[in-house]
Amino acid sequence: MTQPVSQQSGERVVHVELGARGYDIVIGPGLLARCGAEIAARRPGIRCAIVTDRNVAAVHLQALTASLSAAGIEAVPLLLEPGEKTKCFDELVHVCDHVLGARLERGDAVLALGGGVIGDLAGFAAGIVRRGMRFIQMPTSLLAQVDSSVGGKTGINASHGKNLIGVFHQPDLVLADTDVLDTLPIREFRAGYAEMAKYGLIDRPAFFAWLESNWRTVFSGGDARIHAIAESCRAKAEVVAADEREGGARALLNLGHTFGHALEAATQYDSRRLVHGEGVAIGMVLAHEFSARMNLASPDDAARVQRHLDEVGLPTRMTDIEGELSSTDILMEHIAQDKKVKRGALTFILTRGIGESFIADDVPQAEVFRFLEEKRAS
C-alpha cells in the first residue's frame, strides 16, 4: 500500500491492529478538504460510491466531491433520507443497486459520509456487494467518530430490534474531520459525548475523571476535542484488535447498550423522542444503578455517572423520554432480542465501580423486570 500523506499539525493517527487488514483512523481539522489526497495516497486509481443523507450533503458533499475530483478520484453520490428509519432493507437494496449501477468493482470503495446510520448502512452494503468491497468512513457526527465508524460492525435494524441484521466488515480508512462537528446541533454533539464517556466508564477511570474536568473544552473544540476523540478511538481500537468479532471482551463496548437499545426500540426509533447516544446515556446510568442494586458496586458510583451526564445536558432517567413508554413486558421482549443474549440467558455489561465494567452472564430476568418497573416510575 502507498504511504499516507504527511501528518498535519494538530492531527492524531490511531492504527487499528488487524494484521494485513489493519487501518488508520486519522483525526484532526481540515480532513474534508484533504480527503482526496489521503485516499489517493493509500488506494491510487480507486473509484467511490458516496453514500450520505440529505442533511449532511447540503453542508459537506460539495467539499468532499471537490477534494476527490482534485485527487483524480471518480465518485458517484447517493443521497438518502436522514434518521434511524433509513437503516432498513429497502434502503440497503437502494444502496446496493446504486453501487452496482455505477459499475464499481470489488477493488473500488463505498464511502460513507455521515453519522452512524449512514456508516452502518453503507458498510453493510460494502460488505455484501460483490462479496465484499473496500469501505471508507468519513464520520460527520461525534458519535460516529468515536464509536460506530471504528471496528467493522455494520448493519440495519429489524422489527425485532436494533442492528440485528448485518456483517463485520472493517473499513480501509477512517477520516474524522473534527471541524465538521462545529455544524452539529448541540443535541447531536451531546449524544456522541455519551459514547465518549463510555470508554472511561468501561476501563479508563482516569479518562472519565479528565472528561469530568474538561468536558466544556471538548464541546468548544480545539486540541481538547481532538485529544478526547483520539483517546476514545484508541480505546476502541485496542478492544477491536483483541476481539474483532465480539467473542469475549469486545462485548464490554456495549456498556449501557442493552438498556439503551430496548428504549430506542420502545420509541420506534423516533429521533424526536430519543437518539442513540441519549439511549446509551440512560442505559449507562441504569447499568450502574442495577449494579448497585445487585450489591456489585457503590450507589455513589451510579450517582457520580448520573451527575456528570446531567451536567453535560444528557437525559439520564427513563422519565426523561418524552411521551409514554412501552410496558415493562415489551421492554423485556426487546432486551431478550439483544445480540448479547445467549440461549435465552440475559447478558449485561455491569460494573464494580467507575472503570471496572465486566460481562455478567445469566442475569436474573425477574430482577431486571422489577428494576425497570421501579425506574419507569421514578
Q: What are phi and psi of 211, to 5 degrees?
A: -65, -40
Boundary-marking domain end, from 149, 182, 215: 182
Residue 244 lies in a domain: yes
User: Does position 2 have pLDDT exceeding 50, yes or no?
Assistant: no
User: Which listed residue (84, 91, 231, 246) is catalytic?
Assistant: 246
Least confident interval from 131-135, 189-193, 362-366: 362-366
Q: Which pLDDT score is estimated for 291? A: 98
Taking each helix axis from N to C end, the angle separating 186-203 and 276-293, rounded to the nearest 10 degrees, works out to 30
Residue 89 lies in a domain: yes
Residue 2 lies in a domain: no
Specify whether 153 is located in the same domain as 203. Answer: no
Residue 88 lies in a domain: yes
SS3 track for 17-53: CCHHHCEEEEEECCHHHHHHHHHHHHCCCCCEEEEEE
Active site annotation includes 131: yes
Q: What is the DSSP string of 67-128?
A: HHHHTT--EEEEEE--SGGGSSHHHHHHHHHHHHHTT--TTSEEEEEESHHHHHHHHHHHHH
User: Which listed residue (34, 42, 190, 276) is catalytic?
Assistant: 276
Over residues 68-118, the pLDDT tens digits come to: 999 999 999 999 999 989 999 999 999 999 999 999 999 999 999 999 999
Boundary-marking domain end, from 182, 200, 223: 182
Number of Cβ within a 10 Å radius of residue 177? 23
**Helix residue ranges, H only, the chain:** 31-42, 54-56, 62-70, 89-101, 116-128, 142-143, 186-203, 205-220, 223-242, 257-266, 276-293, 299-312, 328-336, 365-376
Nearest one of 5, 51, 10 to 226, comparing CA atoms: 10
User: Which listed residue (131, 272, 295, 324) is catalytic?
Assistant: 131
Q: Which pLDDT score is estimated for 68? A: 98
Task: Kindly state the cell numbers that stand for 340.
Answer: 448479547
Active site annotation includes 153: yes
Specify whether 41 is located in the same domain as 168. Answer: yes
Residue 302, classed as helix, strand or coil, is helix
Confidence of residue 194 (pLDDT cuts 50, 70, 90): very high
Q: Which domain holds residue 262?
A: 186-376
Q: Please tell me the distance from the alpha carbon of residue 326 to that of residue 321, in angstroms, as a whole number.
A: 11
User: Which listed residue (42, 234, 261, 339) is catalytic?
Assistant: 261
Task: For Cα atoms 51, 257, 250, give the angle at the middle one, nearest 5 degrees.
Answer: 85
Q: Please tell me the distance from the alpha carbon of residue 233 to that of residue 150, in angstroms, as a whole number.
A: 7
User: Which listed residue (257, 304, 339, 340) is catalytic?
Assistant: 257
According to DSSP, the β-strands at 48-53 and 23-28 are: unpaired
Q: Which pLDDT score is estimated for 23? A: 97
Over residues 134-173, the pLDDT tens digits come to: 999 999 999 999 999 999 999 999 988 888 999 999 999 9
Distances (CA, A) of 232 to 91, 238, 290: 30, 10, 25
Residue 202 lies in a domain: yes
The number of folded domains in the chain is 2
Specify whether 300 is located in the same domain as 359. Answer: yes
CATH number at residue 196: 1.20.1090.10
Active site annotation includes 250: yes
Task: Kindly state the cell numbers that stand for 318.
Answer: 427513563
User: Does position 351 have pLDDT exceeding 70, yes or no?
Assistant: yes
Residue 97 lies in a domain: yes
Give me the count of residues in the chain: 378
The owner of cell 471504528 is 150
User: Does position 1 have pLDDT exceeding 50, yes or no?
Assistant: no
Boundary-marking domain end, from 182, 198, 224: 182
Task: Give the mean pLDDT of the chain.
Answer: 94
Q: Please tell me the distance from the alpha carbon of residue 148 to that of residue 117, in angstroms, as a whole number.
A: 9
Residue 343, class by beta-carbon neighbours within 10 Å (0-12 exposed, 13-18 middle, 19+ buried)?
A: exposed
Rg (CA), the chain: 20
Specify whether 34 is located in the same domain as 142. Answer: yes
Confidence of residue 232 (pLDDT cuts 50, 70, 90): very high
Active site annotation includes 236: yes
Over residues 260-316, the pLDDT tens digits come to: 999 998 998 898 999 999 999 999 999 999 999 999 999 999 999 999 999 999 999
Residues 6+ apart with CB under 8 A from 142: 181, 184, 188, 189, 191, 192, 193, 195, 196, 229
Residue 4 lies in a domain: no
User: Which listed residue (34, 250, 304, 339) is catalytic?
Assistant: 250
User: Does position 54 have pLDDT exceeding 70, yes or no?
Assistant: yes
Specify whether 217 is located in the same domain as 175. Answer: no
Task: Kindly state the cell numbers that stand for 285.
Answer: 446510568
User: Which listed residue (47, 204, 254, 375) is catalytic?
Assistant: 254
CATH number at residue 162: 3.40.50.1970
Specify whether 178 is located in the same domain as 193. Answer: no
Q: Please tell me the distance from the alpha carbon of residue 80 to that of residue 180, in angstroms, as a whole number.
A: 19
